[in-house]
Chains A and B, each alone.
Chain A
Amino acid sequence: MQRLEKSATGIAGLDELTYGGLPAGRPSLICGGAGCGKTIFAITYLVNGVAKYGEGGVFMSFEERAVDLEENVASLGYDLSEMVADRRLAIDHVHIERSEIEQSGEYDLEGLFVRLAHAIDSVGAKRVVLDTIEALFSGLSDTAMLRAEIRRLFAWLKERGVTAIITAERGDGTLTRYGIEEYVSDCVILLDNRVVDQVTTRLLRVVKYRGSAHGTNEYPFLIDAEGISVLPITSAGLGHSISEGTISTGIPDLDEMLGAKGYFVGSSILISGLAGTGKSTFGASFVDSACGQGKRALFFAFEESPDQIIRNMKSVGIDLRRHVDAGVLAFEAARPSLYGFEMHLARMNRDIERFKPDVIVVDPISAFRGPAFEIHATLIRLADICKSKGITALFTSLSLSGDGMSESDRSVSSLMDTWLSLSDVEANGERNRVLYLLKSRGMDHSKQLREYRLSERGVSLIDAYVGPEGVLTGTARLVQETRERRAALERQQATERRRRELLRKRAAVEREIEEKRGALDVEEEELRRLIAQEEEREAGIGSERSELASIRGARL
């Protein structure tokens, strides 16, 4: 079984969602309203064919002159005239002025066939664009003939084996104004320009793709200086080369909390927190430290003007002005509601391309309002762009309530490598700031809730008091610490007292022993004296008796 051959468009994202591109050797229809990028799409297909795949192309324009077309796409960096000169691209402008033409009798569109065939042969084209063939309907009146001829044209294109894109204006309730989708039934792509909440988003949808699987959602796409890119989530590749190197957070204590002593280079960091928790300050600290090490930083500000940021950061001892003056720091400020997401992304991408930063700060991503899906897609793209370029990206996000994650937090959390959560702890009539690391991929990190302080010396972390009643912050911590100190002092005094008591007791006992020993000695002395007297007396009695005996004997 032969599989459907595909002709790669070279348009980032589109080839992924069509699993390879347009059906090769068949006509595809691209339809959409005015100004939604049909012509750009078609011309990009041809230019990529020439530049990337070595396939010649024919652009048959029914609306724009070749010169206008060249000028219009020059902004995308396409040099059509060079390709035409190299005979790799042929542009033919078909112009029909109804007022100039008189009709007399039957005719057909063979002339168009001849021109197309000639153009295809002259460059050996594999790709053909007819932009917008329905213009014929306004130039010629015989619609029945036109329909038959257009049908014949598509069959002829198929026979020639060229892959064709036919663009068509969207009709009222139908895909195309004149219903030519009936004849082009292999692949139909619908482009749309939708305004939601005053923000325009370009959307692309593959309505139909005969014989092939395809992504069926509406995908946002953008047109910028690098051409078109569609944003299917799946195309966000994960093949980035990663870095083992780290970059300081700008806050020494915070570096200590991270096992790798900083953020990984090229990683995405999310700092989320309530209003006034110092998210921007963390961002500025990071930028300050990075710039101090000679790195280039780009600060995307969506809520404050650059001057305001510089002034505000001065109050916490961070001097960003010197980095700006040194040319290593640049600010890009814009209201997020100014453009659609894809324009923001395009702008950011362009700024990144131009400034070539090592680190970027986006402050804050929660400023983007709109459908979560789009925000998500935009941020994924941005994170991807940064990762692929090895740029460390720090995003701040405003949380709306203390516990829950905000919409933007939730949608991007999986994208982030390090997530630092800042919050307020309210107790004893005061608010205190605490931070903790929610996650930090690829490194061990502190799980400790830490109190931090914003002072004129920047951000400093304080050892949190963790007691039986949880983590205490602010004055509660101070009170608790004082209480502990007093208790310790009391304990110390009690010990001291007990020691003295013991000493005294020992002295008393020893004194008693001394006394008793003295009395014993006295008693012993007395006894010895009595014994001696007794002996003396004994001896006296004996001599008296012998004296008596001798006396008595002498008489004998």
Chain B
Amino acid sequence: MTTKNPAELNGTKRSTTPRENGEGDFNLRLYVAGQTPKSLAAIANLKMLCEDHLAGRYTIEVIDLLVKPQLAAGDQIVALPTLVRRLPPPLKRVIGDLSNTERVLVGLDIRPRPLVTK
């Protein structure tokens, strides 16, 4: 569990891209509400996951709905935290604190859905 500087949350955009959007880049948006343990965990987990699997081809936008509540309806946010893959299409969502890396990778279509064997 990583703790983050609260100041980072209040900025709505927090890019960690080494280069600007290119072909096949992941545009991810993480919705949270305030600095709950779940929010903080989700941010840390996402960052770690992106560095591990999408190094150099992603942008992350963290949106705090307590600051910008009007954005919640547009992306059909109900559960929090919600990670939305805005690019590449189609739109994908992962809800939860992203602690299960495997599920996130499946949800973002980074790794193919495992075949059900049993």
Contacts and interface: CB of A to CB of B under 8 A. Distances in A.
Interface of A: 92, 94-96, 100-115, 117-119, 136, 139-140
Nearest to B102: A104
Contacts of B73: 92, 115, 118-119
Contact of B99 (A105, A113, A140): A105
Nearest to A112: B78
A136 B96 contact: no
Given A107-B79, A108-B79, A101 B72 contact: no
A102 B78 contact: no
Contacts, number: 105
B75 to A, nearest CB: 9
User: 8 closest A-B pairs (Cβ-Cβ)?
Assistant: A102-B107, A105-B96, A105-B99, A118-B69, A105-B97, A104-B103, A111-B77, A110-B80
Interface in B66-84: 66, 69-70, 72-73, 76-82
A109 B100 CA distance: 19
A230 B77 CA distance: 37
Contacts of A139: 78
Given A102-B103, A106-B96, 8 more contacts: A94-B78, A95-B76, A100-B92, A104-B107, A106-B38, A106-B97, A111-B31, A114-B72
A109 B65 CA distance: 12
16 contacts: A95-B76, A96-B76, A101-B94, A101-B107, A102-B94, A102-B106, A103-B96, A104-B95, A104-B99, A108-B80, A110-B79, A111-B72, A111-B82, A114-B65, A115-B72, A140-B95
A112 B108 CA distance: 23
A107 B76 contact: no
B87 interface: no
Interface of B: 31, 33, 36, 38, 41-42, 45, 65-66, 69-70, 72-73, 76-82, 91-101, 103-104, 106-108
A94 B73 CA distance: 8
A80 B70 CA distance: 20
Contact of A104 (B31, B65, B97): B97
A103 B103 contact: yes
B95 A101 contact: yes
A139 B96 CA distance: 14
Contacts of A104: 94-101, 103-104, 107
Contacts of B82: 107, 111
B63 to A, nearest CB: 11
A102 B93 CA distance: 6
